[in-house]
Amino acid sequence: MQLTEVNMLFKIVNKLTILNLSYIQMESKLKAEESNNATIMEFVLTGFSDVPNLQWILFGIFFIMYLIILLGNSIIILITRLDLTLQNPMYFFLGNFSFLEICFVTVSVPRMLRDIWTQKGNISFLACATQMCFVLMFGGIECLELTVMAYDRYVAICNPLKYPIVLSHKVYTQLVAGSWVSGIPVEIGQTCWIFSRSFCGSNRINHFYCDIPQILKLACGDTFMDQMVVYILAVIFLMVPFLLTVASYGKIISRTPKLSSAKGRAKAFSTCSSHLTVITLFYGTAAINYLQPKSNQSEGLGKLLSVFYTILTPVMNPIIYSLRNKSVMVALKRLLPNY
């Protein structure tokens, strides 16, 4: 065989090798794209799998806390509906707030308990979007509801003579209805906005429920606009209600020294301080979670903060807002004569 023929044969073999490698690379790329597309249909919530030795301890703690939330808030709803002495705006707000707390916690905690029990965190794309929508919706409504409740206390303590007029039956029902109506369409729109993106890479969510910061970490491409939308809505539904709530309690505290009786001053200060403690805990942890830049967020810290405002504060709220209230305890004893 001549040298020219050998060179031609070598070139042909070389080209076939290059084509074969190109085909293999294209096939691998297609398989990767198919794999990425498959992750869009399902996510995996890792929950607390990073602490395997504490799984059953955490299950027991969260299960007991969930039962406390259900029982405490259900009692408040029952009392405020049945007892005739509690038919006023304050207890109407408390009953509605207790119902809201049950809804807010039930969206995430039962699913988390199931995942710990089964050691599986698979959740479909639609279920994940639905869960996130309801968490955001009930959380936003709760912020508005806390503001309404603070305003109610402000009017009752600072303008007691005008209280029946300022917060008539029509007004306080409209305030509650407005809290619900304003929160629902906004959070549905935000959820649709976020889940309309493409997701690539890992489908594992290092959290115990579907939350915005963790979902955005899985999104393809630049998420700057998504983060800006999250910040704007967080300011509207977190910071603005928080400032209004603090302003209301600030007015109450400034008015407290002017109250005639020492007992009344002590009661007003005790009520406001306990309310502000829970409110600061709820708003503070939620604000850090949603307002902190995505690049600076620690996944472990995000989970811990979420435990505070999704589980711990709902456990404390029935005690702080209702069960420390003398009128509520009297109504409870009337409802349970043998208590």
pLDDT the model gives residue 280: 84
Report the phi/psi class of residue 185: left, alpha or beta, with left for phi > 0 and alpha for psi in -120 to 50. Answer: alpha
- 204 has which bridge partners? 44
323 DSSP 8-state letter: I
Whether 276 maps to a domain, the answer reads yes
pTM of the model: 0.83
CATH number of 95's domain: 1.20.1070.10
Q: Which long-range contacts (CB under 8 A, 24 or more apart) does 153-157 make?
A: 153/90, 153/248, 153/249, 153/252, 153/271, 153/272, 153/275, 154/248, 154/249, 154/251, 154/252, 156/90, 157/252, 157/255, 157/256, 157/259, 157/268
Report the range of poorest mean pLDDT among 141-155, 199-213, 297-311.
Answer: 297-311
The amino acid occupying position 304 is L
Whether 16 maps to a domain, the answer reads no
125 Cβ partners below 8 Å, 6+ apart?
A: 40, 41, 42, 43, 195
Top pLDDT among 3 and 238 is at 238
Top pLDDT among 331 and 32 is at 331
In terms of residue numbers, what domain contains 208?
40-335
* d(C-alpha 246, C-alpha 90), whole Å: 18
Angle at CA 57, nearest 5°, toward 213 and 74? 75
Whether 1 maps to a domain, the answer reads no
Whether 3 maps to a domain, the answer reads no
Predicted confidence (pLDDT) per residue in 94-107, tens digit: 899 999 999 999 99
Residue 141 near residue 100 (C-beta atoms within 8 A): yes
